[in-house]
Amino acid sequence: MRIVMVCLGNICRSPMAEYVLRHLAAQAGLSERIQVDSAATSRYQIGETPHHGTRRVLAAHGIPCGNHRARQLTRADYGRYDLIIGMDAENLYDIRRIVRRDPEGKVHALLDWSDNPRDIADPWYTGDFETTYADVLEGCRTLLDDLRRRA
Ligand code: 4NP
């Protein structure tokens, strides 16, 4: 299963979701089965490392943060991943604009698996990385539960 987490800049929410899901998959012994990556819809932060707020919140929760560099999602990524997961409705709109068609139903929002589907606020604007972390954790936990049920 290959998953790409997607947000606007690929420095705050999507690298956070990438590292949280990787960590949960490792704890569940599923690192070999679940590959997680991340990408941006925009070109704003191409080449940049994760935001210090993302790094700080991951460290505070004992989650390893790798040396990801922001990159933009491409149309070819549609064939490379099984799931393309945005953080909010704007991300979904932009993902669909990039991949153009979603015949295999790969495009979802991270909180689609939650009992309370909703957007994940962008901490670039809110400054609240803890609230974003709680939402990302809920999304990754419910997604992983679903993947395990279907495995
Ligand atoms: P992200 O947050 O989409 O969660 O990575 C943002 C990061 C950078 C910008 C916007 C949102 N920006 O405008 O550069």
Residue-level pLDDT at 151 = 79
DSSP 65-100: -------B--TTHHHH-SEEEESSHHHHHHHHHHH-
Specify the 3-state DSSP secondary structure of 114: coil
Residue-level pLDDT at 142 = 98
Distance 9 CA to ligand 1 centre (A): 4
Residue-level pLDDT at 129 = 98
Q: Which secondary-structure segment (H or E) carries 53?
A: helix 52-60
Residue-level pLDDT at 120 = 98
Q: Which two tokens stand for residue 120?
A: 């994940």
**What is the C-alpha to C-alpha distance for residues 75 and 84, in angstroms, rounded to an integer?**
11
**What is the C-alpha to C-alpha distance for residues 50 and 13, in angstroms, rounded to an integer?**
9
Q: Which of 12, 13, 88, 135 is catalytic?
A: 13
Q: Is 7 a residue of the active site?
A: yes
What residue ranges line ligand 1, CB within 6 angstroms? 7-13, 44-45, 122, 124
Q: Is 13 a residue of the active site?
A: yes
**What is the C-alpha to C-alpha distance for residues 63 and 2, in angstroms, rounded to an integer?**
20
Give the start-to-end residue ranges of the domains of the chain.
2-145
Q: Which secondary-structure segment (H or E) carries 109?
A: strand 107-109
Determine which residue's CA is closest to atom 9 belonging to ligand 1: 9
Q: Is 12 a residue of the active site?
A: no
In this structure, the strands spanning 83-86 and 2-7 are: parallel
The strand order across the sheet containing 107-109 reads: 35-40, 2-7, 83-86, 107-109
User: Are 84 and 60 contacting, i.e. CB atoms less than 8 angstroms apart?
Assistant: no
Distance 49 CA to ligand 1 centre (A): 12
Residue-level pLDDT at 150 = 87
* pTM higher than 0.95: yes
Over the chain (151 residues), the average pLDDT of each successive run of 10 is 98 98 97 98 98 98 95 98 98 98 98 98 98 98 96 79
CATH of 2-145, one of 3.30.450.20, 3.40.50.2300, 3.40.50.720, 3.90.1150.10: 3.40.50.2300
Which of 136, 101, 113 minimizes the C-alpha distance to 16? Answer: 136
Distance 12 CA to ligand 1 centre (A): 6
Residue-level pLDDT at 33 = 96
